[in-house]
Structure 1
Amino acid sequence: MCGIAGMLGSDIDFRNEKEMIWKISNTLKMRGPDTRGEYITRSVALIHRRLSIIDPANGKQPMRFGKYIIVYNGEIYNTNELRQELRFHGYIFDTTCDTEVVLKSYHLWQEHCAEKLNGIFAFAIYNIDTEEVFLCRDRIGVKPLFYSNKNGIFAFASRTDSLLEVKGVEPVCDEDGLNEIFMLGPAKTPGKTVYRDIEEVKPGEYLYYHKGKITKKTYWSLKADEFTDNQSQACDKVHYLVTDAIKRQLVSDVPVCTFLSGGLDSSIISKIASDYMKESGRKLCTYSVDYDDNDKYFEASLFQPNKDSDYIDLIADHIGSQHRNVVLNNTAVADALVESTFARGCPGFTDIDSSLLLFCKEIVKNF
């Protein structure tokens, strides 16, 4: 997870806006605590905060190649395949990070590079010659990307809080914003935020900004095709796709772990991850979460006939993981609701966000 931001404007000199740029960068620190980088000229400011996953020693951003400069947040799971294809076209690589692959993919294929990327991502590429910026977001919107266009400044960022530091962008919640908070529960309307002045790059969408004009295009959308496979074919395809997706996401130059709730999804992920890591002599760490007095107050129901812990122990023993259980205090979970709201940038749904925040804080102590 990294944090990106940027601003373009013709009526402002960003070289004289160091305080605003510092404030924007500081809002992204929680997303990228390892390194900080900026590219600043009179008409543009690009900001990056990095959490190093692949090639920590290299891959610093903003990264430049020719007339293009990128700030990128994400993970590309077909990096090796794309790198080989680009080498066939004559490209040479100085790092092993996926940032360089994305940048040179855009250099060759322009906006069509989005269709080639298998992963989760949000990035911006600035053209020094034309002063145009290209924003792109992954197909299902795992990585956040917001933007504003007000008072002659086009700005983008990984967090809405970052855009609230841009001159002229106001923390005003209008009727549409209130609808997002109170009427849709945990869901949201693609492209919308709770703030009047801030929009979202939709999942599967890219946009160009050039001299005050925004051009958007959807490069991917979910399609429902006719199902023609028999049961055996369907099982084989699902097994391959799930296994391939999990293994691709285990590529890392830093330690990895999985969340294990005892449910089907996390159990399958942890089993495949554990088997994959055993091939190289490594042992998977798994983590689960529980709450004070859960054993005391748990009541079986049709929705949940057994405690999660019953299945967590079975799966952890079966896959041979190094398992740790994190027990959260209920009062602490309630107290963390405010902090989790600030971290998310808007109100969440019940105590899911605060529980996840405290859970991850405990996990990171072991990394």
Structure 2
Amino acid sequence: MSDKDEAMTTSETAAGATDTLAARPEGETLLRVSGLKKHFPVTKGLFKRQVGAVLAVDGLDFDVRAGETLGVVGESGCGKSTMGRLITRLLEPTAGTIEFQGKDITHLGTGDMRPLRRDVQMIFQDPYSSLNPRHTVGAIVGAPFRLQGVRPEGGVKQEVQRLLSVVGLSPEHYNRYPHEFSGGQRQRIGIARALALNPKLVVADEPVSALDVSIQAQVVNLLDDLQAELGLTYVIIAHDLSVIRHVSDRIAVMYLGKVVELTDRQSLYNKPMHPYTRALLSAVPVPDPRRKAAQGRDRILLQGDVPSPMNPPSGCRFHTRCWKATEVCAKKEPPLVALETGHQVACHHPENAADQEPGDTKLLTDLPPQATAEEPTPTTTKN
């Protein structure tokens, strides 16, 4: 069984989902992000003097086409969730631009953003903390209609009950409270609320990370079915590479506030170009021991912790943990460039491709200790 099939209930369902993804037409650009940054100030003392800043998101460039799913993966603390809150304008960006349907929404105020809330919605990571425990399901899912002044045909109650049916819940759940539901059912309530106003873009922040594996498959399949039925566009943030492989058309890999690789799903899993992406994929478990032995895949163990976003390394931010790092990696930040059709990578020495800096071949690990700051060498072990 493949990694992708792990997220599916049956192999037939997986095959059908693959056909759906392959058949999706390439739409026009719905969302465009350029140079997006978010720096959180760090203050100290009685007068709250700023002594630094957390560079949570530090220069993102990507776009999302109508009807597609963009998956975003990376280690904890790399800025994935902050990015999601920025593009939905739940946080104010420090710099950069966000364009939605060709309109600059980077610094729109609350009043100007209100009409756009119908088109951009978010599914939050924790399905319980994002639901008000004092409100019934009917009040929670019906809140977008009240806030936007929308009166659906047949009334709010009838529309809410229809939405509950769409996400696999019973209309009789209308008068129940969140604590009466399981984790998977609460996530479905959050999905129903996000879909209430027929949005064009849905940002899902770790939509299945808090759920059991069996429930994860149900919610993932639900998101896929809703996209096919309603023509939704997704930005799905996750750390589970199996889930991302199933739901995504294109995948962006983030490291320490930056996108280091962006390409279609098939290219990323079959031919990763950034060393960090290769290390992430090496950690994906293979459930079939015979297949694992046939692949002979080595597990890449990165030494050391992720550097602090308050003081990121110079040059390439991954060079302190990279086994291919050379002198140029410590001095010059690699740009995110297209090395192949549709395949973008920010690396001076990418995998399976010609180096951006072909003349620099001296590894940092080969330099004298005084010439570099303790550059750990990763080891490899067999899975």
> Shorter-normalised TM-score: what interval?
under 0.3
Comparing both chains, which one has the higher relative contact order based on Cα–Cα distances under 8 Å and sequence gaps of 6 or more? 2
If the length of structure 1 is used for normalisation, what is the TM-score? 0.25
